[in-house]
Chains A and B, each alone.
Chain A
Amino acid sequence: MSKALLYDSTICIGCKQCESACAQQNKLPYDDKVAAEPVQSAHKFTVVLTKDDKFMRRICMHCEHPACASVCPVGAMHKTKEGPVVYDVWKCIGCRYCMVACAFAQPKYEWQSLNPRIRKCIMCPDRVVAGKQTACAEICPTGATKFGERDDLIKEARDRIRQNPANYVPRIYGLNEVGGTSVLILSSMNVEEYGYPASAKIGDTPIPEYTGRVMEKVPDFIPVWTLVLGGIYWVSHRRQEVAAAEAEEKKNGSAT
């Protein structure tokens, strides 16, 4: 069973305590200036966005089938069995393929650094393994960000929609998107308005499948193509040999 976060924007009061708890947990600087930044970055893994009087949190979705992990040439990203998608900085070569691959544009880069790292929310893996909640869920005063088993949270999200249908857009964002994510979002507005990619656009197919379909053919392709190339080589050179031998024979024949 894997852990997940349920974020319900209708309960969120926009206090940004999750931002500061996240910064503290990940040893990032946090002051009024950072708090005012309306975008995620290498020093701000989560952001609470405000639109009119409504709020929306953005955070790494921790996909069930993470594209970032599948594309990393050195396997610096991986999904743990508890749910978090984590990053092993010592493996990273800095190719930034994870950044281009992520449908939610979550991995950010330390552009100014001479030994840059990819930065993103890693869902407090140490705390999760120790059986604790993530820092953001623990500090949330209203329970807008809730930590728990993914299946339980899905059930709870469905109940909330059922009990209060007027309050919600009737869907759980992250339930099936790109094959499901470990962050689930409930909202009274379409999450697309806050910069999340549209469900229709990203689809329900796990992103790694798009390259997987090609990559899975490689092991078969190599021997087949080698045989074909070798065959062509053999045939064309055999032809040459035969032609040479025939010419030789002719020469000998005409000589006698």
Chain B
Amino acid sequence: MKFKLTFWRVVFIVIMGLGLYSTLIRFFYGLGAVSNMSDQFPWGLWIGFDLLCGVMLAAGGFCIVGAVYLFNVERLHSVVRPAVLTAFLGYCLFIVGLLFDLGRPWYIWHQLIYMNPHSVMFEVGICVMSYTTVLFFEFLPNVFERFNLKTPIKWIQKIYPVLIILGILLSTLHQSSLGALYLIMPSKLHPFWYTPALPFLFFGSAIAVGLAMTIFESTQSAKAFGRHLELPVLVELGGALLVALWVNALLRFEDYFHRGLLGQIVKPSYEAYFLWLELTLAFVIPITLLSFKKVRLSPGGLYLASVCTVLGFITNRLNVSVIGFETYAGHHYLPKWTEFSVTLMIVAAGFALFGLAVKYLPIFPEVRVPVKPRLRSETGPAVSTPVLGHAGD
């Protein structure tokens, strides 16, 4: 096949090149050279985005699997495979990200032998390892199907109920535990984000983001791979998203109300600006949008609402992990460009692998025909997906 240099491919290559440079800096000169982390700011972008956001964005896997296999919502069946794929890739890449952030990544297996059951980090580690394994098995049927291997599919089908229940159990545990990680710092994290309810808030928002991400990636892949958009599925997800957002919003309100912070959060301050940004993106815009039936039934409206939700909760995770510490640390932390480039490289690799998987595996069963060439003008908000859709050409 002939390799054509399109705009998005150039972007992809540049991202990968810079990422590779940063990787070399990281592993030949150390964390101090590659990042702006310091003794005052021991956790930076890689924990805030790669870990917290990465795991949250991959929550669609357990949400959709739960809806379809646990609650028998058959209508969502067509989004199970892309959701599981996203989750599997997300967790693999998050583990790659962790290898950058850990100071001594070659000892990561110590988790398995020197266990400290009191540590939330230990729980997260074990759950993530186990859940990635579960996702691997949930993903395997795609590969078996591709090569027409019937027997192993049957084996997987036999253990499927166990995989489903185990997957949801592990997800519940570690999605909430990521919030519990921050419970240890009552005197450091800003009260806007430090609350005993953190585990609940993290779990609740993971479900909302899981639904939003599924809408986002369905719309995106419809554009990128020339699939037809399954609007009824998206409408169903949009309705669920609205409910999930309301539940989350009520939880947040309750939390601020009980801790007597309602007066403080409306007063302008450095933290308040970021909180407002977070609340507007995560709640105000998507809830308003989705409350209109007309929006809830339109692909564009659903897309916009889900993108806002995702951005809002990304802001939330970064507030918890970065903004909420700045007052305590006494200085602002802005990641070095090399930190950004490693994160970008990992995200871009995720898009590329997703594209490759869709191309070579029966992720969207109806897409059997080769991807039809796309028009340049179609790109629009599709950001890097188009390139990546062709990344394997």
Residues of A within 8 A of B (CB): 41-42, 67, 70-76, 91-97, 99-101, 103, 105, 108-109, 111-116, 197, 201-203, 207-208, 210-215, 218, 221-222, 225-226, 229-230, 232-233, 236-237, 239-240
Contacts and interface: CB of A to CB of B under 8 A. Distances in A.
Contacts of B117: 215
15 contacts: A71-B119, A73-B111, A74-B111, A97-B119, A99-B42, A100-B185, A101-B184, A111-B30, A111-B31, A112-B32, A114-B27, A114-B30, A115-B103, A116-B103, A230-B165
Given A94-B104, A97-B181, A210-B186, 19 more contacts: A42-B39, A70-B118, A71-B119, A76-B114, A91-B110, A100-B42, A100-B184, A108-B39, A111-B30, A111-B38, A114-B29, A116-B103, A203-B187, A208-B184, A211-B181, A213-B183, A214-B183, A222-B173, A239-B72
Given A93-B108, A116-B30, A226-B169, A218 B123 contact: yes
B102 A225 contact: no
A71 B110 contact: no
Contacts of B3: none
Given A100-B185, A211-B184, A214-B120, A93 B165 contact: no
B102 A95 contact: yes
A109 B104 CA distance: 12
Contacts of B188: 100, 103
Interface residues of B, number: 55
B121 A73 contact: yes
B148 interface: no
B180 A214 contact: yes
A232 B127 CA distance: 22
Given A74-B114, A233-B69, A233-B70, A113 B30 contact: yes
Contacts of B196: 213
B28 interface: yes
Nearest to B179: A214
B276 interface: no
B103 A229 contact: no
A74 B122 CA distance: 7
B121 A71 contact: yes
B37 A111 contact: yes
B187 A229 contact: no
A152 B73 CA distance: 68
B147 interface: no
A226 B171 CA distance: 12
A42 to B, nearest CB: 8
Contact of B120 (A99, A111, A211): A211
B90 interface: no
Contacts of B187: 103, 197, 201-203
Contacts of A215: 117-120, 123, 180
A33 to B, nearest CB: 18
Contacts of B104: 92-94, 115-116
Given A208-B118, A218-B123, A112 B33 contact: yes
B165 A233 contact: yes
Given A116-B104, A236-B70, A207 B184 contact: yes
Given A99-B42, A211-B180, A225-B169, A232 B118 contact: no
A230 B162 CA distance: 9
Contacts of B161: 233
Q: Is the interface of B mostly helix, strand, loop or mixed?
A: helix
Contacts of B199: 214
Contact of A109 (B39, B114, B115): B39
Nearest to B71: A236
A236 B121 CA distance: 35
Interface of B: 27-33, 37-40, 42-43, 69-72, 101-105, 107-108, 110-111, 114-123, 125, 161, 164-165, 168-169, 172-173, 177, 180-181, 183-188, 196, 199
Contacts of A213: 183, 196
A96 to B, nearest CB: 4
B39 A236 contact: no
B314 to A, nearest CB: 20
Nearest to A114: B30
A91 B103 CA distance: 12
Nearest to A96: B42
Given A74-B111, A214-B199, A112 B120 contact: no
A102 to B, nearest CB: 9
List the 9 shortest-distance A-B pairs measured between CB atoms, nearest first: A94-B103, A111-B32, A75-B116, A99-B42, A73-B122, A73-B121, A94-B104, A74-B114, A116-B103
Contacts of B40: 105
A240 B72 contact: yes
A74 B72 contact: no
A100 to B, nearest CB: 6
Contacts of B70: 229, 232-233, 236
Contact of B119 (A70, A94, A114): A70
Give the one of B30, B101, B121 with max A CB within 10 A: B121
Given A96-B103, A99-B42, A101-B185, A233 B110 contact: no
Contact of A112 (B30, B71, B172): B30
Contacts of B37: 111
A67 B115 contact: no
A132 to B, nearest CB: 30
A221 B180 CA distance: 15
Nearest to B186: A210
A219 B100 CA distance: 31
A108 B181 CA distance: 19
Nearest to A41: B39
A225 B172 contact: yes
Nearest to A207: B184
Contact of A75 (B27, B115, B183): B115
Contacts of A115: 103-104
